[in-house]
């Protein structure tokens, strides 16, 4: 993956803005750094050491410094990073300076909860439309929006400038919804349905599968149980903390 | 990480059962293989090639073969894998032959949706107790369970043999809940609160952060937009599909 030094101000006159291609694991950690930095800024910190930021974000400091170097952020020896500047750099890279319009399809139990999730709006993601195939749901008001029939999805994507689709339908419906989103021009999908989506190159999919998360925990539980069952009283190993995408 | 060949039948008489230490990415893919295998079994397939299983699970076949070799599963050249046997092997490794009792803390919008999520029970994860700190929620019936006050958490963990805790509280409350869960003996936590939890060695935490997922998608949107803005009409790169934990 190419790694280019990224200037502080995006786009100098006449130059093509460089945009780093980052490892997926780095991309997933940037939002954690951002959250920690916002907390620090609120607490009044102007600068933060790499160790301090790493501790706040739950990663080791060498990994943090490596991640930020991809952005062209190197900190100052003995001082650390400028909090405000680093916030700007990360928000720019994550494209959070743009407000993104989101469509959510499937307003069952989980979809309904997602439609009301505060954490989206606070980061510039506006859910602008809700859809469902169930006529019993169509017309309902959720969080200030009226649920529309999924047949209107393609038109709404174009009219509302939607770039991100959230799929919280049953698995049997998810591929069809993905196809509609893609055909309408959406290139980013957040999939909560427990299935693998087939999408063309150029479309990014992030999958959140709660059952898989529990199965991963179950593996660790099983392994800990088997280790503590070893003869001679050998002690089991420590656990670990894995964030999504790391 | 040590990789040991895993026999089909766990625990031969007199021998210590070997339990493989798997890479995290492999652990995260096993549940996907399992889902694909269950679908194949339902459709009547007795065997499946690595290419066929890989396609169904959305991974490349070399990665799949590598993953399964960690389990001591090598398939038969020209035939592939025995579906039923592979299901048994994966379910054993993931500890799914044990039913695990789960406590969920925080029955707001998201917690309420999680409490009713079908996908948990279908894999042997029983949510046996719901808790909240809000007296307005305590006493409510959700999905056949009565919400209890979070002060009863420790006692319930011991009495109900709870091994997995799900935290869907506001971030300000999450660490305290984690501390209570750990103190009561829970060693696996699924955290939906947008914060980093501090836990002792031996406790595993999986984090699902919806806002982070959207920010990752936003990065990819931003990068695609910047690539298509390159002079000379250079075409942007393809997108990618990332599942949680891969």
Cα B153 to Cα A170, A223, B116, B133, B161: the distances in Å are 32, 25, 20, 10, 12
Hey, what CATH topology would domain A24-96 get? Answer: Arc Repressor Mutant, subunit A (1.10.10)
Indicate the pLDDT class of residue B228, thresholds 50, 70 and 90: confident
- Residue A239: its pLDDT value, please? 47
Give the percent of chain B with pLDDT over 90. 53
Mean pLDDT of B96-110: 89
- Looking only at Cα atoms, what is the longest distance across chain B? 70
Q: Under an 8 A CB cutoff, do B190 and A213 touch?
A: yes
Residues of B in contact with A15 (CB under 8 A): none
Q: Could you count the other beta carbons within 10 Å of the beta carbon of residue B5? A: 12
Distance separating alpha carbons of residues B211 and B207, to the nearest angstrom: 12
Chain A to chain B Cβ contacts (< 8 Å):
283
Distance separating alpha carbons of residues A139 and A131, to the nearest angstrom: 10
Q: What is the CATH architecture of A99-210?
A: 3-Layer(aba) Sandwich (3.40)
The ranges assigned to domains in chain B are 24-96, 99-210
- Known binding-site positions of A: 106-111
Q: Under an 8 A CB cutoff, do B24 and A116 touch?
A: no
Residue B30, judged by CB atoms within 10 A of its CB (0-12, 13-18, 19+), counts as: buried
Three-state SS at B200: coil
Residues of A in contact with B236 (CB under 8 A): 202
Indicate the pLDDT class of residue B7, thresholds 50, 70 and 90: very low
Q: Under an 8 A CB cutoff, do B219 and A93 touch?
A: yes
Question: pLDDT by residue (tens digit) across B109-146?
Answer: 889 888 887 667 767 788 999 999 999 999 999 989 99
Sheet holding B141-142, edge to edge: A241-243, B204-207, B188-191, B162-167, B100-105, B125-132, B145-149, B141-142
For residues B80 and A203, the answer to whether their CB atoms sit within 8 Å is no
Both tokens of residue B205? 């935490």
- Residue B119: its pLDDT value, please? 67
Q: Under an 8 A CB cutoff, do A218 and B95 touch?
A: yes
- Ordered per-residue pLDDT tens for chain A, 246 residues: 222 223 334 433 333 346 778 988 899 999 999 999 999 999 999 999 999 999 999 899 999 999 999 888 888 888 899 999 999 999 999 988 888 899 999 998 889 888 887 667 767 788 999 999 999 999 999 989 999 999 999 999 999 999 999 999 999 999 999 999 999 999 999 999 988 899 999 999 999 888 888 888 888 888 888 887 655 544 444 444 554 444
Q: How far is A28 from chain B (nearest CA, A)?
A: 6
pTM: 0.76
Residues B26/B31/B36/B41 CA torsion (nearest 10 deg) = 120
DSSP B145: E
Mean pLDDT of B185-191: 95
Distance separating alpha carbons of residues B83 and B54, to the nearest angstrom: 13
- Known binding-site positions of B for NAD(+): 106-111
- Residue A236: its pLDDT value, please? 42
- Residue A221: its pLDDT value, please? 87
Nearest chain A residue to B55 by CA: give it.
A196
- Residue A244: its pLDDT value, please? 46
Which secondary structure element, helix H or strand E, spans residue B105, and what is its range?
Answer: strand B100-105
Q: Under an 8 A CB cutoff, do B116 and A109 touch?
A: yes
- Residue B209: its pLDDT value, please? 84
Crossing angle of the two packed helices A24-42 and A61-70, in degrees rounded to 10: 100
Beta-ladder partners of B189: B165, B205
Mean pLDDT of B167-191: 95
Question: Among candidates A121, A112, A118, which has minimal Cα distance to A169?
Answer: A112
Indicate the pLDDT class of residue B11, thresholds 50, 70 and 90: very low
- Residue B245: its pLDDT value, please? 45
Question: Among candidates A150, A62, A187, which has minimal Cα distance to B228?
Answer: A187
Q: What ipTM was estimated for this complex?
A: 0.76
Q: Under an 8 A CB cutoff, do A113 and B116 touch?
A: no
- Residue B74: its pLDDT value, please? 80
Distance separating alpha carbons of residues B206 and B211, to the nearest angstrom: 15
Residues of B in contact with A170 (CB under 8 A): none
């Amino acid at each position: 993956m190419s790694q280019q030094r990224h200037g502080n101000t995006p786009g100098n006159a006449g130059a093509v803005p460089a945009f780093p291609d980052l490892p997926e694991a780095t991309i997933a950690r940037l939002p954690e750094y951002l959250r920690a930095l916002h907390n620090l800024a609120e607490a009044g910190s102007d600068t933060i050491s790499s160790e301090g930021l790493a501790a706040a974000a739950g990663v080791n400091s060498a990994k943090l410094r490596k991640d930020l170097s991809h952005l062209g952020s190197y900190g100052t020896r003995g001082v650390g990073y400028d909090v405000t500047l680093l916030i700007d750099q990360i928000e720019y890279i994550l494209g959070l300076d743009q407000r993104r319009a989101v469509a959510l399809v499937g307003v069952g139990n989980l979809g309904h909860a997602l439609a009301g999730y505060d954490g989206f709006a606070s980061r510039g993601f506006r859910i602008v439309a809700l859809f469902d195939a169930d006529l019993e749901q169509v017309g309902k008001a959720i969080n200030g929006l009226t649920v529309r029939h999924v047949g209107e999805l393609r038109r709404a994507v174009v009219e509302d400038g939607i770039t991100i689709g959230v799929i919280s339908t049953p698995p049997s419906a998810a591929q069809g919804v993905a196809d509609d989103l893609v055909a309408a021009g959406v290139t980013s999908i957040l999939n909560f349905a427990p299935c693998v989506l087939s999408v063309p190159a150029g479309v990014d999919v992030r999958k959140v599968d709660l059952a898989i998360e529990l199965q991963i925990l179950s593996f660790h539980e099983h392994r800990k149980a088997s280790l503590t069952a070893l003869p001679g009283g050998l002690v089991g190993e420590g656990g670990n903390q894995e964030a999504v995408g790391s």
